[in-house]
Structure 1
Amino acid sequence: MDTPLTPSPKRLLSLDVLRGITISGMLLVNNPGSWGHIYTPLEHAAWHGLTPTDLVFPFFMFIMGVSMYISLSKFNFTFSGSYFRKLAKRSLLIFLVGTAIAWFSLMCFGTFDVSSDQPFWERFTSSVFPFDRIRILGVMQRLALSSFFASLLVVLIPSKHWLKAAAAILVGYYLILLFGDGFELTPNNIIIRVDTALFGEEHIYHGESIPFDPEGLLSTIPCLAHVILGVYCGKLIKTTPNLTEKISKIFIFGTILLFAGLLLSYGIPINKKIWSPTFVLTTCGLASLLLALLAWIIDAKDKKRWSVFFESFGINPLFLYVLGGVLSILLGSIRFFQGTEAVSIKGFIYNGMTAAVGNETFASLIFALFFISICWVIGHQLYKRKIYIKL
């Protein structure tokens, strides 16, 4: 006979593990050996559609919402001046860290044009302080904005209305997309028009055929619903004492969201780059189902020895993500001469891996795994010493 499920602990270890899975996934997809040689599942969907890579960021945002419920319960979901100051300070810090990474990347990969007719000081400041072309928004900035405004909504709106608020946000955003050509990747797209008007083309991501920021300001609106759905899942976890019932509720919640997203996708495409309403529902549903599965394996069946790797990422998630970003910039920008050719540290390692395995795409994956291993070694030392670096 199967052993009965044990009483629920105060904290589900599966939350940390899922958070760690998403952070390691973000590091994996952001750091291939070569962007020209990537296995298809490790690429984002070109526009409409969904790949495994498209899941890692929304999964993290969902878990952020789950953790938010646990944190806000300490304040009894009551708005106060001290709560607002603490929230604003943390959100501003995360936003500034994201901006600092964008600046550091531009500075490291920028060029100092010695042949320019500009005065030396102007050339120097343009290279070291490239504020005229720095990207304003990004992953960290989106986390900051989503966390700030979703936290305010959660404390200002009674919990019985959270799902209604999330639905209202998604419906309103859908109407904006519908009447603003938001589902088309053209200069007339409302997301592009808003970002261009507010920030200018120089401060927008240019990875698409036209200036388009997948972490744009307007497309951050549905992220509020994303976080609120995570908060509601946190409520199911926190207010359900029995572990069996807890897992069942998470599973049912995820199933409803997933089927709603998939059914509505016939009229509203699933699209990460515009964070479409169906993208929110589908990814929140999948995140809930994965959380339920992990809770059953780790917290109910107590099979957790395999999860230590992900725990090390899960207890300091934002720090390790930032560390990965900085390390990636350094490996790609620090160069040395190999013969007569200047090669980056990353290029040197990747070329060596390619020569060893004879396949550029496989070598690109090996490099990504190697990169994750470096971050894990640092994260695991923090984990063993119970050092928590909060952002």
Structure 2
Amino acid sequence: MSQPVSKRLLSLDVFRGATVAAMILVNNPGTWEHIYAPLEHSKWHGCTPTDLIFPFFLFIVGVSIVFAMESKKADPANHGKMILTAFRRMVILIVISLGTHLLFHPGLATMRIPGVLQRIAVVFFICTVLYIKTSQRTRDWVFALSLIGYYIIMCFVPVPGHGPANLEPETNMGAWLDRLVFTENHLWSQARTWDPEGLLGTLPAIGTGLFGIRVGSWLKQKGTEDSVKVTWMLTYGVAAVVLALVWDMFFPINKSLWTSSFVLYTGGLATIALAISYWLIDVNGRTRFTGFFIPFGVNAITAYVLSMYIPHYLGKLNLYQLWFEPYLSPLNASLAMAIFWVLLIWVIMWVLYKRKIIIKV
């Protein structure tokens, strides 16, 4: 389904577009054996620039919910239809993800059930319901309780069959729950004993979406000067980062576990980034550098899905071995291949953008 491009918050599109471009870049190197360190995920605890991409996207989902739904939710008569639409979108995203996995790795017996699109879909739906049906004060309480509750579960509740609570990859509470619910055959193929997008980690991931809703609500405030909005966003962002670094001392920042400190750290950085983008682009009109990112930003899910299919099929033509590997160092050849995929997908997104088409699920 497509619709014309309407007036949008330009800084949000740029921020989303930059996040999607970065996601395509890190997901499609020429070879996984040669990757620059910042373009890799942290081995376990810690946070690399690559670890910021997924939480930034979920944060943006929260902000976008506010801008897309604020006017409609004012009328309670619209609530049922809005929730049904959100549920339909959740189901479509999950079907796209599972269908892609089956296409690339045939066989229901070993199909991975959790995944990136699945987490995006579930967080989007739950945050949509919370935004439509609860007040901001209630959402703040849900945000706080989700982070504190997750911390208590992960750090204090004994893990059945493994003893005391722990944060190790295979023996933490989240890994145990995923094996119980999904079984090992349906978890991340590189581990099978745990999954970075597991069931329990969805709880704090919802917190990331609520973080975005809170910031989006600030941006949508009427009668508040832009300088005040940006100042509060920067203050909130810095405070979240500081609190995260304190929490990190006893509940480490960890993307695979999506720890509560990780939510605050990445949410704080995302808030700072969006505040700066909003001030430069929407308030002061600095748009010269935005052109590359907007086509990605207005068709984000389409770009992400294409980034799964295009490298998979065109990669069979051995473009990496023909065009890059013989002429560059291993690290630079691998990076050049990733940049090539970003540019190729951008061309498609640019055509859609120029034709004023936004593809929505």
- Structure 2-normalised TM-score? 0.92
Could you tell me whether the CA contact under 8 Å between 2:112 and 2:186 is conserved in 1? yes
Matched residue, 1:125: none
Could you tell me whether the CA contact under 8 Å between 2:83 and 2:128 is conserved in 1? no
Does 2:61 correspond to 1:64? yes
Q: Which amino acid aligns with 2:91?
A: L
Cα distance, 1:260 vs structure 2: 1.1
Matched residue, 2:260: 277
Could you tell me whether the CA contact under 8 Å between 1:20 and 1:310 is conserved in 2? yes
Matched residue, 1:268: 251
Which stretch of structure 1 is more off in the superposition, 274-283 or 161-170?
161-170
Cα distance, 1:316 vs structure 2: 0.3
Cα distance, 1:76 vs structure 2: 2.3
Cα distance, 1:45 vs structure 2: 0.3
Matched residue, 2:208: 226
**For the residues of structure 2 that align with 1:351 and 1:49, how far apart are their CA atoms?**
36
**For the residues of structure 1 that align with 2:154 and 2:142, how far apart are their CA atoms?**
18
Which stretch of structure 1 is more off in the superposition, 307-316 or 81-90?
81-90
Which stretch of structure 1 is more off in the superposition, 291-300 or 316-325?
291-300
Matched residue, 2:320: 349
Q: Which amino acid aligns with 2:63?
A: V
SS in 2 for 1:50: coil
**For the residues of structure 2 that align with 1:309 and 1:89, how far apart are their CA atoms?**
31
Does 2:356 correspond to 1:386? yes
SS in 2 for 1:234: helix
Does 2:213 correspond to 1:213? no
Cα distance, 1:175 vs structure 2: 1.0
CA 326–201 in structure 1, closer or farther in 2 if over 3 Å, else same: same
Q: Which amino acid aligns with 1:80?
A: H
> Structure 1: which 4+ aligned runs deviate by more than 3 Å?
77-80
Could you tell me whether the CA contact under 8 Å between 2:30 and 2:334 is conserved in 1? yes
Could you tell me whether the CA contact under 8 Å between 1:62 and 1:226 is conserved in 2? yes
Q: Which amino acid aligns with 2:87?
A: A
Cα distance, 1:87 vs structure 2: 1.4
**For the residues of structure 1 that align with 2:64 and 2:151, how far apart are their CA atoms?**
27
**For the residues of structure 1 that align with 2:286 and 2:125, how far apart are their CA atoms?**
36
The one of 170, 184, 198 equivalent to 2:168 is 184
- Structure 1-normalised TM-score? 0.85
**For the residues of structure 2 that align with 1:237 and 1:193, how far apart are their CA atoms?**
40
The one of 307, 330, 333 equivalent to 1:324 is 307
Matched residue, 1:134: 111
Could you tell me whether the CA contact under 8 Å between 1:350 and 1:367 is conserved in 2? no
**For the residues of structure 2 that align with 1:85 and 1:238, how far apart are their CA atoms?**
24
**For the residues of structure 1 that align with 2:18 and 2:84, how far apart are their CA atoms?**
31
SS in 2 for 1:80: helix
The C-alpha deviation readout for 1:128-177, integer Å capped at 9, x for no partner, is xx111111111100001111112222223211232221010111111111
The C-alpha deviation readout for 1:23-67, integer Å capped at 9, x for no partner, is 001000000000000000000000000000000110010011001
Could you tell me whether the CA contact under 8 Å between 2:11 and 2:282 is conserved in 1? yes
Matched residue, 2:88: 89
Amino-acid identity (%): 36
Structure 2: gaps of 5 or more residues: 1-6, 160-164
Q: Which amino acid aligns with 2:326?
A: A
Structure 1: gaps of 5 or more residues: 1-9, 108-129, 333-343
Give the 5 Å matches for 1:1-391.
11-76=8-73, 78=76, 80-107=79-106, 130-178=107-155, 179=157, 180=159, 181-186=165-170, 188-208=171-191, 211-240=193-222, 241-332=224-315, 344-345=316-317, 347-357=318-328, 359-391=329-361
SS in 1 for 2:358: coil
SS in 2 for 1:142: helix
Q: Between Structure 1 and Structure 2, how many residues are aligned?
A: 345
**For the residues of structure 1 that align with 2:306 and 2:116, how far apart are their CA atoms?**
14
**For the residues of structure 2 that align with 1:76 and 1:202, how far apart are their CA atoms?**
41
**For the residues of structure 2 that align with 1:279 and 1:367, how far apart are their CA atoms?**
30
Aligned-residue RMSD, C-alpha:
1.6
Could you tell me whether the CA contact under 8 Å between 2:112 and 2:189 is conserved in 1? no
Cα distance, 1:182 vs structure 2: 4.9
Q: Which amino acid aligns with 1:265?
A: D
Cα distance, 1:245 vs structure 2: 1.8
Cα distance, 1:11 vs structure 2: 4.3
Q: Which amino acid aligns with 1:289?
A: I
CA 64–350 in structure 1, closer or farther in 2 if over 3 Å, else same: farther
The C-alpha deviation readout for 1:93-133, integer Å capped at 9, x for no partner, is 111111111112214xxxxxxxxxxxxxxxxxxxxxx1111
The C-alpha deviation readout for 1:261-313, integer Å capped at 9, x for no partner, is 11111111000001000000000000000111111221222111211100010
SS in 2 for 1:356: coil
**For the residues of structure 2 that align with 1:206 and 1:35, how far apart are their CA atoms?**
15
